[in-house]
Structure 1
C-alpha cells in the first residue's frame, strides 16, 4: 500500500478490520486475508515501549500474505513514536496508525489512547514526529468523538483541524464517546450512544480528509450505506471477528472487483497449509483455530464446528486433520465424497 496519493489511501481504506486487542494477531489476519484480498487489516495495538525495549521482531512479525496491513501504535511521546514508526516501516507495514481511542485502564495509566483526546496539541506533535520518519508510508489516526464530559460537536472538529495542520489527513473515527471514568472498556464499546451523523459532518467540514467510520457496524450492507452517504471508508470490528465469512463478499461489494465470493469452506481449506507450516515452527493449533471459530456463524453445523475445535485444538499433536474433522461436522456428505474421489 506504499503510496503518496490521497486517492489511493481512500481506495484502500474503503473497508478495514479494526485493531482489536487479543484478537487481531497474525494468525487472525492471515485467516481474514483468505476471505478478502483488498480489505485493509490492522494489528493489535503495540505500545512504543514494547517495540523499543522488547522483542520487536517477534511483536511485528507478519506473513507476506497479510498485505495490505497496518501497524497500530500506542504511545504519547513523540520521540518514542517516531522511533517505533521507523521500526514498523522497516518491518514492511503499509500504514502506521496512532491509537487515540482505546479506553482501557492500562492505556489511561500511560496517558495515551483515548486520554489523548484531551490533548490534541500533544497528538499533533506525535503524528508530526511519526510522519517525519515514516517516509512514503501513510500515518493515520484512530480516535473517538470525545471523552467524558467533552462536547463532541466542538471537540472533534478542533481535534481534526489541529492534526490536519501537520499534514495527516486520514482519521478513523469511532462514533462513540469514551467514558474514562465509570465504564469498563467492554462497556465503552456498547453503552455510549453512536453518533454517525457527527462523523458524516466531519467529512462535509473537511472534504480533503479521508474520513473512515467505525463503531457498531454489523455487516457489509451497513458499510455500503455509509459509503453511499459520502464517507471514504468503513471499519468493521467485532462483527468481522465473530463472523469472518461476511468478509467473503467484500472485494465484490465494496471494492467492485470482478471476482467470486469466498466461502468459509474456501478459507478454511486455504488455511491448512499455513497451519501446517506454523505447527512445524512450534505454534499450537488452538492459537490459530481460536480465530476460526466463527467461520460458519449462523449455518447448520456451526456449533459442532466450534465444539470440535474447542475440545480438540489444544490437545498434543492436534494438526490440520483436526480442522478437517471439524469441517466434516459442517458438511459431512461433501467431505466424504471428496475423499472417495481423491482415492480414485
Structure 2
C-alpha cells in the first residue's frame, strides 16, 4: 500500500514545472526514481482548462504521480479561482501560480514573470483561489524583473501576496529581463543571486521559502536547505534523471524505489505498455528517458536507438527493450556507489 505523505513534507524537494518536459509521462517515470519528491505539471493556462476539450488533455494524470501540484498560468482572479477548484476536484495536492515565466507570449496575456510588476493582482488572485479551495495555493516567482534589483523590491512583492494568505513561495534566484532577453536567455544570462533568497527567508521566517535555479547536485540541495525550506531542480533533474534516485535517501532519510538504472527502466515498462494500449506514441513516452544512462557505457547507443526508431509507425515495447539491451547492466551495489 502506498503511504501518502503530507504535502508539506513532500515539498522539501520538487521537480520544477517545465513546458513540454514535465508531462504526465515524465512524471510517471520520475516516480520510478523517487517516491517522496513533489512533482509539478507543466504550466497550464486558465483558458486551456476553461475552454479546452477534452479537459483530460490538460489535467489528466496517473495516480502514481502523487504528491502532485498543478501549475496555473493566468491573472484573472475569478478564472484562477475557478481553475483552482477544478484542480481540487481532479485530485491535485496543490495549485501553484506561475509568476516566473518570461516569454513574450505569456506576457501579452499578463501571465508569468510580468505579474511581479502587479503584486496587487497576484494578491487578489491568491485570495480568490484560497477562498475556492482547501488545498494549498502557492506562488513561484523570480527575485525580480527588469529594474527591480533590490532586496526591498522582492520583499515588497512577497509581503503583499503573503498578506493575501499565501504561505509558500518558490523563488527562482534570477531576475527576468522582460525586454531584451529571450526566454532561453532568461534561464542563463541573469546572474544567480542565492543570497537574496536566503535573506528573504531570514527576514520572513514564518513563510515557507523555497529556492530554484541552477542547482545541479544533492549536495547543493543540502547546502540550501540549511538556509531555506525547500529546493526545486528543473533542467538537471530532466536531463540527468538518475539524480532523482538519490533524493529519497539524501533528503528524506529513507530508501528510494530504484536500485539501478535498469531496474528503474524495467519498473516503467508496464506504464509504457498501458499508455501504448491507450494510443500514446512510443517516442512521446521514451523521450523523457533519453538521459537515464547519461555518462554510462552504452548510454549513447541507448539514446540513438530510441531517437531513431521510437517515432516510427507501430513502434512498440520491442524498440524499448532493444534499446535497453544496448546498455551493459551493472550490479546494484556498483550502481549505487
TM-score class, shorter-chain normalisation, is over 0.9
Residues 7 and 67 in structure 2, CA contact (< 8 A), matched pair in contact too: no
Residues 10 and 233 in structure 1, CA contact (< 8 A), matched pair in contact too: no
What are the residue-to-residue correspondences of 1:150-161 with 2, within 5 Å? 150-161=148-159
Deviates more, 1:137-146 or 1:265-274: 265-274
Structure 1 partner of 2:105: 106
Deviation of residue 303 (structure 1)?
0.5
SS of 2:139's equivalent in the other structure is strand
Deviation of residue 152 (structure 1)?
3.4
Structure 2 partner of 1:25: 23
Distance 1:260 1:287, change over 3 A: closer
Alignment match of 2:309 (pick from 283, 308, 312): 312
Residues 69 and 94 in structure 2, CA contact (< 8 A), matched pair in contact too: yes
Answer yes or no: is 1:64 the counterpart of 2:63: yes
- The TM-score normalised by the length of structure 2 is 0.94
Structure 2 partner of 1:194: 192
Deviation of residue 86 (structure 1)?
0.8
Structure 2 partner of 1:268: 265
Distance 1:333 1:118, change over 3 A: closer
Partners of 1:133 and 1:254 lie apart in 2 by 33
SS of 1:177's equivalent in the other structure is strand
Deviation of residue 333 (structure 1)?
9.2
Deviates more, 1:185-194 or 1:54-63: 54-63
Partners of 1:132 and 1:152 lie apart in 2 by 32
- The TM-score normalised by the length of structure 1 is 0.92
What are the residue-to-residue correspondences of 1:259-338 with 2, within 5 Å? 262-331=259-328
SS of 2:326's equivalent in the other structure is helix
SS of 1:145's equivalent in the other structure is strand
Deviation of residue 10 (structure 1)?
3.9
Distance 1:289 1:38, change over 3 A: same
Deviates more, 1:258-267 or 1:85-94: 258-267
Partners of 1:29 and 1:200 lie apart in 2 by 29
Partners of 1:333 and 1:233 lie apart in 2 by 33
SS of 1:265's equivalent in the other structure is helix
Residues 32 and 258 in structure 2, CA contact (< 8 A), matched pair in contact too: no
Structure 2 partner of 1:133: 132
Alignment match of 1:185 (pick from 183, 186, 193): 183
Residues 198 and 228 in structure 2, CA contact (< 8 A), matched pair in contact too: yes
Partners of 2:214 and 2:171 lie apart in 1 by 12
Alignment match of 2:32 (pick from 6, 28, 34): 34
> What does the per-residue CA deviation read over 1:256-282, in whole Å, with 9 as the maximum and x for residues that have no partner?
114565422121101110111111111
Distance 1:177 1:310, change over 3 A: same
> What does the per-residue CA deviation read over 1:45-102, in whole Å, with 9 as the maximum and x for residues that have no partner?
0000000011222210000000001000000000000011011111110000000000
Partners of 2:161 and 2:219 lie apart in 1 by 31
Aligned residues: 327
Deviation of residue 323 (structure 1)?
1.1
Could you say what the CA RMSD is over the residues aligned between the two structures, in angstroms? 1.6
Residues 40 and 71 in structure 2, CA contact (< 8 A), matched pair in contact too: yes
Alignment match of 2:252 (pick from 243, 252, 255): 255
Partners of 1:102 and 1:326 lie apart in 2 by 35
Structure 1 partner of 2:140: 142
Deviation of residue 182 (structure 1)?
0.4
